[in-house]
Amino acid sequence: MKQTRALTLTGGKLVAPCGIIDGNLRIAEGRIAACGDAQPQDGDEIVDAGGKLVAPGLVDLGVFAVDKPAFHFGGITRAALMPDQSPALDLPSRVSYIAKSGKLDLWVHPLAAATRGLAGTEIAEIALMREAGALGVSTGRGWIADSGVMLRLLQYAAMLDMPVIAHSEDAALVGDAVATAGEYATRRGLPNAPAEAEAIAIARDLALAEMAGARIHFRQVTTRAGLELVRRAKAGGQRVTAGVTPAHFMLSDLATVDFRTFARLSPPLRSEDDRQAVREAIADGTIDVISSGHDPRGPEDKRQPFADAEPGMAGAETLLAMALTLVTDEIVDMARVFDLVSTNPATILGVPSGSLEVGLEGDVALIDAEKPWVVQSARMAATAGNTPFDGQPTQGRVLRLWKGGVEIGL
């Protein structure tokens, strides 16, 4: 699927590297040819943006399933797939297969399993998986408890200049917990773990990453203590980035009071103070990435007692709308939202997209940031509609989407 005719979007509000500007965008031969004062040329397809946002396609760092209809609905043009598959992405052949899937209307970037079978004991063949198409290495849903194994992993990844995407919860403290320790978990008799399990895991992994000189990305940092550790590490010059999903800046553990399993997540929802800390961290730059954590789960996984339900949320379709609430709430401006959902994840993965810069791939979304809609789990395009935002009024919809200058049907 190659662009055969140049495309110029006129009259849009461009989410450009310098901020939001009025102007035109031209895409030719699959790449951005001009941004701002771009003028249509003879033979161009011309699309009138009508004053709507023209933004880079979203780059979703850390999804658990390839779900094209949901990604297209949400304006996602690239997704980094977690290694927690069946079987795990711990062999070059499996990584190669995933790297070729989805093209050309959705690029899927596999993250190599850090250890064989994600068991946390034997380091996988990361160099061979990098050659097969892996753009990062991940510990998956779990934490590597053995500090020696984690250090060797970080040293190996540093040698290959690959980012390590880490889960940040001390497994020994978490055990079979499904909730954060506190009033709500206690009153409902839910297995719970202290929020400090996150900070303990982050502290150790930051120390090991500094020893190894490695790049480390904590996929979800959800507590005030954990965020403060990341903040200090950044101030000290360490190569660390942090992410979060919308659930942890939109919801607190109050959402679990009626045992709604759509709110059964990993890590679990935190206290209101931690939710506010996440919002503060987004505002001050401590958090670099907002991702969907897309993990569609059907009734067999979710229609269970809360403690037995599988964690996860179908997040691709709501990622953009939930991120835009940060603008409405005056936490960040519009340009910063697209740093969080497009530019920064693309930079971490090292892919030529995520920004409306000349020379980068023409992955572009036309967005009505004010279009109202209601999240309805039963009508979602995802393979399952397990969203904790079911029934919530919101705004912000993708109107049209292009991948490499070629339009994708929504």
Residues 6+ positions from 97 with CB-CB distance below 8 Å: none
Cα separation, 400 vs 410, whole angstroms:
7
Query: Which pLDDT belongs to residue 257?
Result: 83
- Domain total of the chain: 1
Cα separation, 404 vs 363, whole angstroms:
5
150: in domain = yes
Query: Which pLDDT belongs to residue 294?
Result: 97
Is beta strand 107-113 parallel, antiparallel or unpaired with respect to 136-138? parallel
216: in domain = yes
Helices 196-212 and 147-160: crossing angle in degrees, nearest 10, is: 50
Query: Which pLDDT belongs to residue 147?
Result: 98
Query: Which pLDDT belongs to residue 28?
Result: 97
Query: Which pLDDT belongs to residue 102?
Result: 62
4: in domain = no
**Measuring CA to CA, how many Å separate 27 from each of 247, 290, 409?**
35, 27, 18
How far, in whole angstroms, is CA 53 from its chain's centroid?
A: 21
403: in domain = no
> Containing domain of residue 334, as a range?
57-354+370-392
CATH number of the domain bearing residue 255: 3.20.20.140
238: in domain = yes
Query: Which pLDDT belongs to residue 114?
Result: 98
252: in domain = yes
Residue type, 271: S
- With beta carbons less than 8 A apart as the criterion, state whether 265 and 311 touch: yes
Average pLDDT per consecutive 10 residues, the chain (410 residues; last block may be shorter): 92 95 97 94 96 98 95 97 97 95 86 98 97 97 97 98 97 95 91 97 98 98 98 98 98 90 95 98 98 95 94 96 98 98 98 97 97 95 93 97 93
29: in domain = no
Residues 6+ positions from 285 with CB-CB distance below 8 Å: none
Helix, strand or coil, per DSSP, at residue 113: strand
Residues 6+ positions from 183 with CB-CB distance below 8 Å: none
323: in domain = yes
